[in-house]
Structure 1
Amino acid sequence: MNYSNLIGKSVLVVEDDPKIRNLVKIYLTKEGYEVIEAEDGAEAKERILQYDPCILILDLMLPKFSGEEVCRWVREDLNSVMPIIMLTAKASEKHKIQGFKLGADDYVVKPFSPAELMVRIEAVLRRTASRCGKLTFHGFMIKPAKGVATINGKKLELTHFEFKLLHTFMQHPNQVLSRDQILNLIYENNEKAVSDRTIDVHIKHLREKIREMTPNEYIHTVRGMGYKFEVLS
C-alpha cells in the first residue's frame, strides 16, 4: 500500500461491538489511517458533522439509529458523497441490494477478513479519490482547493501563507521539517517570496490562531532542527 496516498485519510468506524471496532482500528492504524470511532447511530451522526471523515465503515444493526438510517441521512439530508462501506452480518442478496440502493460503495459481510477489508477500503478510496479533496487530523480539516481550514468544525481565518504553512505541516505529520525544507515544499518552483528569517514569524502567528480555538499544542519547535506538526494519539 502506498502510504503517501493515505496521509490525511480519516476513517469513521461505526460499530457497536467494541471487539470488532478495536480490531478494525488496529488494522487501519497500522496502514496509516486516522481512525474515528462511534458505537451507535446517533454518535455516528455527531462524528460525521464534527470530523467530515473521508470514508465511513458502517455496521447496519446499531442502537439509536440503524446503519441504513445513517446511510440515508448522509446521502439525502447531508447530500454527501462520502464513500460508505457497509460492514454487517446481514448477508442476504436482498440486504446487499438494499445497501447499494441506499448509496453504499461496497458491502462486506461478517465474519470478515480484516486484511480484505483494508484492500476494499483502499479500492473504494482509489475509485472515489475526487470526493475526498481534503486532509484531516484530530479535529483539523483543510480543503486545499477551496482554501478552507477548520478545527472541530470552526473556521480558521488564515492568511494565504499561513494556509500554505498549515497545508504543508498536515502533509508531513510527525516529521521534523527545517525552515528551508518548509519553504521548498511551499515554493516548488524555488521562487521564494518569504525568507527563512521571517518564516518563524508566520509560524508564530499560525500557532496563535490555532491556540485561540484549541488548548492543544500542535506545532512544536525542535531546537536546532526546525518544526514538527505533531498529531500522535
Structure 2
Amino acid sequence: MNPKVMIVEDDAKISNLIKLYLERDSYKTLQAYDGIEAQELYLRHAPCLIILDLMLPGISGEEFCLWVKSVETPEDPAVIMLSAKARTQEKINGLKLGADDYMTKPFSPEELMAHVEAVLRRTGRLCQKIAHEGLVIKPRKGEVWLDGEEIELTSYEFNLLYLLVESPGQVFSREQLIDHIHPRSDAEIFPRTIDAHVKKLRRKIEEHPGQPKRIVTVRGMGYKFVGK
C-alpha cells in the first residue's frame, strides 16, 4: 500500500507542486491549507507523514505539530517542517517540538522527495495500515481505531473486517468468509455464524448499525466494504 502524505501549506502553488512530485513517486496525498482543516484531515485519514508549513492562518505550524504529538492516535506520523524560517534556532525549536526533519524555503522538490524517503526509512514508518473515514486498521499490531479511539474486536471480527476493507467494493460470499476466518475448524460452520459476526462488528464500527454504510449486505450474494 502506498504511503499517505498530508501537505499542510497555505500557498496553493507550493502545495500543488509538492503534491505533483509526491504522486509522481506513487505517494497518496491529502492537502490542507490551514491548521483547522489539517486537524480534521489528520483524524479522518491517518497519514503516515506530514509536510508542514509553519506560517499558517489560524493555527500555526508549531501549534499543529504540538497537537499532533499530543493527540491519541494509532501511530505518530513523521513530520517534515518546511518553512521560510531559516535561522538555526528556529530549526532547533522545530525539532524540539517533535519534527523529524526541517527544510527551508525556497527548496528543491527533488531534495524534498529525498528527505521524504529518508524520514520514512529512518523512522521505520512503513505505513502498514488501512484508513478510511476515521476507521484505521493496523494489521501488524492487530489494532482497529475509530475516530481516534481504539476499539476491541475478537480475532474473528478483526479478520473479517480486514478482509473486507483490504478489497473495498468486492463482494464476498458467506462461504468465502467462512473459509477465511475459520480456515482450520473441524466443526461445521454455518452461514448464520458469519451473519452474527457481521452484526456484532457493525455495532462497533457503524454509526447506525441498522443502516450500515461501511459493511453492506449484497442481497443473495454476501457482504462488501464500501469505501476507497
What is the TM-score normalised by the length of structure 2?
A: 0.68
- Aligned partner of 2:159: which letter? K
For 2:93, give the aligned amino acid: Q
Comparing 145-154 with 49-58, which one deviates more in the overlay?
145-154
- C-alpha distance in structure 2 between counterparts of 1:159 and 1:46, whole Å: 29
Structure 1 residues 167 and 41: alpha-carbon distance in aligned structure 2, compared to 1, 3 A threshold: same
* Stretch moving more, 60-69 or 31-40: 31-40
Aligned equivalent of 1:90, options 68, 85, 89:
85
Q: Which residue of 1 aligns with 2:154?
A: 159
Mapped pair 1:64 → 2:64: no
Residue aligning to 1:191: 184
After the TM superposition, which residues 144-183 of structure 1 pair with which residues of structure 2 at under 5 Å, given as runs?
144=139, 147-153=142-148, 156=151, 158-170=153-165, 172-174=166-168, 176=170, 178=172
Q: How many residues align?
A: 222
Instruction: Tell me which moved more, 47-56 or 219-228.
Output: 219-228
1:217 and 2:213 correspond? yes
2:227 to 205, 214, 231: 231
CA contact (8 A) 1:151 1:213 kept: no
- Greater Cα shift, 160-169 or 199-208: 199-208
* Runs of 5+ unmatched residues, structure 1: none
Report if aligned partners of 2:35, 2:61 keep a CA contact under 8 Å in 1.
yes
1:125-178 deviation digits (Å, cap 9, x = unpaired): 2222369664322321124466542333355554331122222334x2447375
Structure number with larger C-alpha Rg:
2
Conserved? CA contact 1:176–1:225, under 8 Å: no
CA contact (8 A) 1:11 1:33 kept: yes
1:40 matches 2:23: no
Of the candidates 130, 138, 141, which is equivalent to residue 135 of structure 1? Answer: 130
- Normalising to structure 1: TM-score of the pair? 0.67
Give the Cα separation in 2 of the matches to 1:181 and 1:51.
29
The whole-number CA distance in structure 2 between the counterparts of 1:165 and 1:109 is 46
Q: Deviations over 1:49-86 (max 9, x none)?
A: 555432221101111232123224444x4498531111
**Contact kept in structure 1, 2:78 and 2:125, CA below 8 Å:** no
Amino acid at match of 1:206: L
Measure, in 2, the Cα distance between the counterparts of 1:223 and 1:108. 53
Give the conservation status (yes or no) of the 8 Å contact 1:38–1:44: yes
Instruction: Tell me the percent identity.
Output: 46
Distance (Å, rounded) in 2 between the aligned partners of 1:183 and 1:22 = 45
